[in-house]
Structure 1
Amino acid sequence: MQFTQEAIIGLERRYRANLINSIGGFKSLVLVGTRSREGNENLSLFSSLVHIGADPALCGIIVRPNREGQNTLGNIIRTGSYTINHVTAGFVEKAHQTSAKYAEGVSEFEQVGLTPAYLPHIPAPFVKESPIQMACELVQRVKIDLNDTNFIIGKIIHATIPDDCIGHDGFIDLEKAGTITCSGLDSYHSTFAMVRLPYARP
């Protein structure tokens, strides 16, 4: 099939969303945990996590909506703190359910049956069930006016990784940790390692 720009614009809304969300390939799948200043916990599923740099350790996520309520965006902007948690097959249905539009102030942790966990120096909740967890501090917010989204850049200030999943060179074995991935809006996948190649030089 061929899709011109005009054809893409003319597609039925849901069909277009599925097409464009899946055409980019497999994506990282994470749960982002936040806590409002009022003490309400929030948990949201994201497939837009990207690596930005290792020195300093930076990562980014695309966040909707633009309105800054007691939601992921509002909580990150107001507190500057959030966590990123890998998803495994053991709780993928619960993770998926966090994408439902719950009322402001309602805890997705409670609604889907996942467990918030805290460290003393980090105000945002981790997902206890997640094997790989990161805590981030907001360092930059980039507003994208083209589609009313926000690119949130965070500095990784803490990471929890199973001992047996880290190699001697720092490489993390995501399959051993049970991390899964996704395509499109609602399709979840496990992976298998094909090959790890040496650093490429001319």
Structure 2
Amino acid sequence: MIYNKQDIEGFDRVTKLKIMNSVTGIKPANLIGTINNNGLSNLAIFSSIVHLGSSPALLGFITRPQTSEVGHTIANIQENGFYTINHIHQDFIKNAHYTSAKFNVDESEFKRCNLTEEYIKDFKAPFVKESKFKIGMRFVEAIDIKHNGTKLIIGEIEQLIFPDNAIVDGDIDLEATESVGISGLNSYYSLKKIAKHPYVRIDEVPEF
């Protein structure tokens, strides 16, 4: 099957959303937890989180254009300066998925989707208690993507919480954490490690 640009532009809105959100393959499924200065918490599912660097340890994610109905996550981050990234696991996929609904700013997705706010001393954003793999982030900068009105939100890792058995031979084993992946808008996948190879040095590349 081959689609050219004209074909793609001719897709109806929902079809285009589903296909364009799937073409990169399976992505990490995470919940981002925030809270504003009035104590109103927010929780939203994201599949766009990417590694941007290790020193300093930076992660980024893409937000949709802000409107009165969406954009509570970035508004809280810019107001508060902190947020959390929480892996999604198989036993609460459904709860996590429904955080994508357009809730009012005064209705917390934590409460509405039956997930638990968890706070760590001196960190000003809620973690998801049910998650086994949690990352505390400090906001660094927001970069406008002018072509479509989205933003790249960049933050630095300040807290890292995961099970002891997640480290295997010096690497994080995502299968051991039972984290899940997402494709498109609503398809979820379990993760299974199928291979491990050494760090590549040019003089060690095999003949194929």
Q: Give 1:4's aligned residue.
A: 4
Q: How does 1:1-202 map to 2 (within 5 A)?
A: 1-67=1-67, 71-169=72-170, 171-202=171-202
* Alignment check: 8 A CA contact 1:82 1:125 kept: yes
Q: How many residue pairs were aligned?
A: 201
State the alpha-carbon separation in 2 of the partners of residues 123 and 72 from structure 1: 14
Q: Render the CA deviation track for 1:142-163: whole Å, top value 9, x for unaligned.
A: 0112111110000000110101
1:201 Cα offset (Å): 1.6
State the alpha-carbon separation in 2 of the partners of residues 3 and 70 from structure 1: 32
Q: Give 2:205's aligned residue.
A: none
State the alpha-carbon separation in 2 of the partners of residues 82 and 139 from structure 1: 11
* Alignment check: 8 A CA contact 2:63 2:71 kept: no
State the alpha-carbon separation in 1 of the partners of residues 164 and 144 from structure 2: 38
Q: Give 2:206's aligned residue.
A: none
State the alpha-carbon separation in 1 of the partners of residues 143 and 14 from structure 2: 27
Gapped regions of structure 2 (runs ≥ 5)? 203-208
1:65 Cα offset (Å): 3.1
1:172 Cα offset (Å): 1.1
Gapped regions of structure 1 (runs ≥ 5)? none
* Alignment check: 8 A CA contact 1:62 1:149 kept: yes
1:70 Cα offset (Å): 7.4
State the alpha-carbon separation in 2 of the partners of residues 200 and 31 from structure 1: 33
Q: Secondary structure at the match of 1:176?
A: helix
Q: Render the CA deviation track for 1:165-191: whole Å, top value 9, x for unaligned.
A: 11352x111111110001111000002
State the alpha-carbon separation in 1 of the partners of residues 97 and 65 from structure 2: 18
Give the TM-score taking structure 2 as reference length. 0.93
1:66 Cα offset (Å): 2.4
State the alpha-carbon separation in 1 of the partners of residues 61 and 178 from structure 2: 22
* Alignment check: 8 A CA contact 1:175 1:191 kept: yes
State the alpha-carbon separation in 2 of the partners of residues 13 and 76 from structure 1: 29
* Alignment check: 8 A CA contact 1:83 1:134 kept: yes
* Alignment check: 8 A CA contact 1:59 1:154 kept: yes
Q: Render the CA deviation track for 1:93-144: whole Å, top value 9, x for unaligned.
A: 0000100111112100000000000011111000000000000001111011
Q: Render the CA deviation track for 1:9-63: whole Å, top value 9, x for unaligned.
A: 1111111111111111010110000001110000000000000111110000001
1:67 Cα offset (Å): 4.2
State the alpha-carbon separation in 1 of the partners of residues 71 and 200 from structure 2: 46
Q: CA RMSD of the aligned region, Å?
A: 1.3
Q: Which amino acid is the alignment partner of residue 39 of structure 2?
A: G
